[in-house]
Structure 1
Amino acid sequence: MPDPGLSPLQSSLPAAAARFGADVLANAQVNAHINAPAHVAAALPSAPTLPFGRGPAAGDVPVDAPVEVPVTEGGPSAAMERILRGPSGLGTAALSLARRAEPPMPPEAEVSVAPVEALHIPGLYYHPVPEPDPARVAELSRRIKDWALDEIELYPEDWEGEFDGFSTGRYMVACHPDAPTIDHLMIAARLMVAENAVDDMYCEDHGGSPIGLGGRLLLAHTALDPLHTTKEYHPGWAESLHADAPRRSYRSAMEYFVQQSTPSQADRFRHDMARLHLGYLAEGAWAQTDHMPEVWEYLAMRQFNNFRPCPTITDTVGGYELPADLHAQPAMQRVLALAGNVSTIVNDLYSYTKELASPGRHLNLPVVIAEREGVSERDAYLKAVEVHNELMHDFESESAALAAACPVPSLLRFLRGVAVWVDGNHYWHQTNTYRYSLPDFW
């Protein structure tokens, strides 16, 4: 029987947008700046998303006037102009996807981008970002280390250098410039550290193994998605959440998260963490059977074993909520999947030499391409760069299409936040020379 292919689906975005209607648009300023101080409101319009140049200064042109968008090779089409300038009308000025100069940004020459010691992959498509606020970086770094050491006893003393070298503070401030407070940034920082603890100690460098991985991940997942059992057996489960550092970190990070998130945001995060754990299990199974996946199989695994849980909480960290039915739209799910995929291929590219130097065989996109397509390591790496670039362009075009189809303020801010997260994630990889180096292919 022939494959009938995919059935045509009608988008429900117009209906979803209509449910939020005029009341949402009229309160857009509230939705966009919940409890945000002035410096956060400033961060929203100036946060880097796409390389489309800066919009007009306040007072130069009306809010809904066209923004000149330079188009570079491989960049956005002319249709992006309408999307980038965002919605017009009461309370929507701060939600444009184009950069605006209200409040004014420093001149370009004064905006610090990636340091000189940053790594540079020729041909990689990405957007430079301003240096994260050093005061926020320092305070967040102090707080996350105190949490890791004093609250959950995450690591022994001889791991301190690795913890500092990870630069969690710089990472999270770069990815969430619109976070209202350090407490909001700590939501993302705790979860990031906890996810890395599970990966390192269950799967990777610090005692990880594919043998028995499923059982360890299942029990750790109950720290995020709690067990509902009888009174007799509940104490045993509750005690198990303190049994090892990964479970302690998950339990504590999730407790803080649910205090500042809505029930739908918490459920969304649990779902994405289940996706992540499924990806861990697939990679672990391949390691046990010494399976070299096809390139498409590897990319399928990486769509689950990837960074998606991080950008999906961008609204919680920003102090607002993308409503559940908008988040669940297929178009939004595609945008989030592409954001996670492109961010994870960035990790494959920057961690390539680090993984080659580690014991055993580590799967990453250049390794799989070289093996399955019979090309040199250099050509495989360059092909992986091309894969990244195509995914990045798809992410941007799908985001723009969704913004045009459903110009609800909370959705526009969420799309912008995800794009900023993608750029911040690249910035962290590019500038973390403690962890990463590049192959000598150029």
Structure 2
Amino acid sequence: MPDTGPLGPPVPKWRPGPSTTTSVLPAEPPDPVLRSRGLGGPTGLGTASLSLARTPDPALPAPAPPAEGKAVPGLYHHAVPEPDAVRVEEVSRRIKRWAEDEVQLYPEDWEGQFDGFSVGRYMVGCHPDAPTVDHLMIATRLMVAENAVDDCYCEDHGGSPVGLGGRLLLAHTALDPLHTTPEYAPEWETSLGSDPPRRAYRSAMDYFVRAATPSQADRFRHDMARLHMGYLAEAAWTETDHVPEVWEYLAMRQFNNFRPCPTITDTVGGYELPADLQARPETQRVIALAGNATTIVNDLYSYTKELASPGRHLNLPVVIAERERLSERDAYLKAVEIHNDLMHAFEAAAADLAAACPLPALLRFLKGVATWVDGNHDWHRTNTYRYSLPDFW
């Protein structure tokens, strides 16, 4: 009986389907960034586009000196190069103009919070292979729109679990258009501009679909439906004052998580992972584990922020503490271990898939997801405006 590993079965050897193009690739040293994550696979003819380095130096980019902010002690993560400052500044300028002028996203007194989110640094760090700033803006608008829905519908800027399903359903039609009768279509069109979250969703999606293929757009809609289902599960637990079991919480977090962000890494990178490769169970497992690990990163870095907010906020350390009768410190440290297990499982699954199916588009996509995971952690670590660590060490 094969060793199944801690979090799932091994990836079977790749069997290309009829629509998957394969080629024989000469043996050359694997891409250095992929190799550092165990995602190397063969390289050669047709794989030059996999390299994200800005210089031809084959060495790995040297990690930047630690920016402000401390990593969670014991958290498994990878250092990343400092995001391109010129791009950060330009993305930050453009996204603020979009938020203020195109979608009227926030009132004037929220401006400091918008600036403190540092979304320009976030997206540049997560997508270093984006060909242009226009490509980076695709991800940046969607990130800001998703956070507006979360804040205004679910969280601390007017959000409530009461009636959340109706609000999310109507907002989702800004992503997945309503096909209705001529009599009622104008009312739906008008509704898309009725509040900031819907305006942001509609505008961000309009930009996205102009850059994406139909299959990429449909993939994103599917992942956003997953996200909204996760929001609803958490809201239902809030309404019934239910603290889930740890496994239940982790199930919810597989849906209420960052998955829509790394899943568009190919669109932002200016290429497409073919739909048949993206839909493979092995690829889906990699994406799911990446989303799960990055979301636990958010739980850990936002822990003190959430404890200081009114009401009870469910996050992994809180759930572990209550369900497993652990101290706050021990529960937090166990959450770090769970994150690390998920990260190791993600990297193992990605490495197995890269070895089994060394196609250039898939290798680049796996590398892009790994880069997004690292950039997401670095943004959390350095965003001291939003986050601070508990005093558990």
What is the TM-score normalised by the length of structure 2? 0.92
| Unmatched tracts of structure 2, length 5 or more | 1-8
User: Retained in 1: the 8 A contact 2:148–2:196?
Assistant: yes
Runs (4 or more) in structure 1 with deviation over 6 Å come to 66-69
Task: Give the AA of the match of 2:215.
Answer: S
Deviation at 1:96, TM superposition (A): 7.0
Match of 1:309, SS state, is coil
Cα offsets for 1:145-199 (capped at 9, x unmatched): 0000000000000000000000000000000000001100000000000000000
Match of 2:120 in 1: 169
Change (3 A) 1:372 1:238: same
Alignment of 1:358 onto 2:309: yes
Question: Take 1:89 and 1:430, find their aligned partners in 2: how far apart are those partners?
Answer: 36
Task: Give the AA of the match of 1:64.
Answer: E
Alignment of 1:92 onto 2:92: no
Deviation at 1:14, TM superposition (A): 1.6
Deviation at 1:12, TM superposition (A): 8.3
User: Retained in 2: the 8 A contact 1:282–1:301?
Assistant: yes
Q: 1:102 aligns with which of 40, 56, 59?
A: 56
Task: Give the AA of the match of 1:114.
Answer: P
Cα offsets for 1:244-270 (capped at 9, x unmatched): 000000000000000000000000000
Match of 1:114 in 2: 66
User: Retained in 2: the 8 A contact 1:12–1:329?
Assistant: no
Task: Give the AA of the match of 1:302.
Answer: R
Match of 1:438, SS state, is coil
Task: Give the AA of the match of 1:160.
Answer: E
Question: Take 1:123 and 1:333, find their aligned partners in 2: how far apart are those partners?
Answer: 28
User: Retained in 1: the 8 A contact 2:47–2:360?
Assistant: yes
Match of 2:206 in 1: 255
Q: 2:246 aligns with which of 290, 295, 310?
A: 295
Deviation at 1:95, TM superposition (A): 3.2
Question: Residues 19-418 of structure 1: matches in 2 within 5 Å?
Answer: 19-22=20-23, 64-65=28-29, 80=38, 83-84=39-40, 86-95=41-50, 102-103=56-57, 108=62, 111-115=63-67, 117-418=68-369
User: Retained in 1: the 8 A contact 2:46–2:360?
Assistant: no
Task: Give the AA of the match of 2:103.
Answer: I
Task: Give the AA of the match of 2:251.
Answer: A
Match of 1:33 in 2: none
| Unmatched tracts of structure 1, length 5 or more | 1-7, 27-61
Task: Give the AA of the match of 1:90.
Answer: L
Question: Take 1:389 and 1:434, find their aligned partners in 2: how far apart are those partners?
Answer: 25
Task: Give the AA of the match of 2:16.
Answer: A
Cα offsets for 1:321-352 (capped at 9, x unmatched): 00000000000000000000000000000000
Match of 2:46, SS state, is coil
Deviation at 1:122, TM superposition (A): 1.0
Change (3 A) 1:66 1:308: closer
User: Retained in 2: the 8 A contact 1:166–1:435?
Assistant: yes
Match of 1:3 in 2: none
Task: Give the AA of the match of 2:44.
Answer: G
Match of 1:15 in 2: 16
User: Retained in 1: the 8 A contact 2:290–2:369?
Assistant: yes
Task: Give the AA of the match of 2:28.
Answer: D
Match of 1:226, SS state, is coil
Of structures 1 and 2, the one with the larger relative CO (CA 8 A, separation 6+) is 2
Match of 1:208, SS state, is coil
User: Retained in 2: the 8 A contact 1:119–1:430?
Assistant: yes
Question: Take 1:344 and 1:401, find their aligned partners in 2: how far apart are those partners?
Answer: 23
Change (3 A) 1:195 1:403: same
Question: Take 2:31 and 2:184, find their aligned partners in 1: how far apart are those partners?
Answer: 62
Task: Give the AA of the match of 1:268.
Answer: R
Question: Take 2:22 and 2:32, find their aligned partners in 1: how far apart are those partners?
Answer: 29
User: Retained in 2: the 8 A contact 1:17–1:408?
Assistant: no
Match of 1:37 in 2: none
Change (3 A) 1:349 1:424: same
Task: Give the AA of the match of 1:310.
Answer: C
If you compute each CA radius of gyration, which structure gives the higher value, 1 or 2? 1
What is the TM-score normalised by the length of structure 1? 0.82
Task: Give the AA of the match of 1:112.
Answer: A
CA RMSD of aligned residues (A): 2.5
Change (3 A) 1:16 1:96: farther
Change (3 A) 1:101 1:142: closer
Question: Take 1:10 and 1:121, find their aligned partners in 2: how far apart are those partners?
Answer: 31
Q: Structure 1 vs Structure 2: percent identity of aligned residues?
A: 73
User: Retained in 2: the 8 A contact 1:141–1:167?
Assistant: yes
